Amino acid sequence: EIEGNAFSYWAYHALRTHIDSHPDIDTAQLIESAQAEDVRSLITQLIVEPVRLDGEISTKYTTGLVARLREVALTRSIVDLKSTLQRLNPTENVEEYNQAFASLIALEAQKTIQKEISAGEL
């Protein structure tokens, strides 16, 4: 499953939210139930646009694509967390700084894993 924050473009995020709120309907119903014209248009575009790929769509391809989306989302989270860390004084806010730093290390590790998956190394 792809996390909702993986989509930075508002239309893809809106589409993800719409799909999550209607998990059991087909694409025609998904288009009809979308309130925003932009989301309806995006669904139509994604349905008719062929996937640019040599050969068949494989599990490796889709796994790599999802991993890359996660990697990009993790990169955004890492940038935000680094910004927070830069504003913290490690001598005055020891506990908060250490928690943020531990979170940064964990995010960096997750990012490395997603990068390896997207490159087909895992």
Q: What is the mean pLDDT of each run of 10 residues along the chain (122 residues)?
A: 81 89 90 91 90 79 90 94 96 95 98 94 74
Whole-number pLDDT of residue 74: 94
**Which pair of structure tokens corresponds to residue 85?**
């860390």
**Quick one: pLDDT at residue 77?**
94
* 3-state SS, residue 9: coil
In the prediction, which pLDDT does 6 show? 84
pLDDT at 5: 78
pTM for this predicted structure: 0.75
Whole-number pLDDT of residue 60: 87
Cα dihedral value 11, 15, 17, 19, nearest 10: 180
Cα–Cα distance for residue pair 102/79, rounded to 1 Å: 14
The set of residues, in sequence order, having a beta carbon less than 8 Å from that of 113 and lying 6+ positions away, is 122
Hey, what amino acid is at 122?
Answer: L
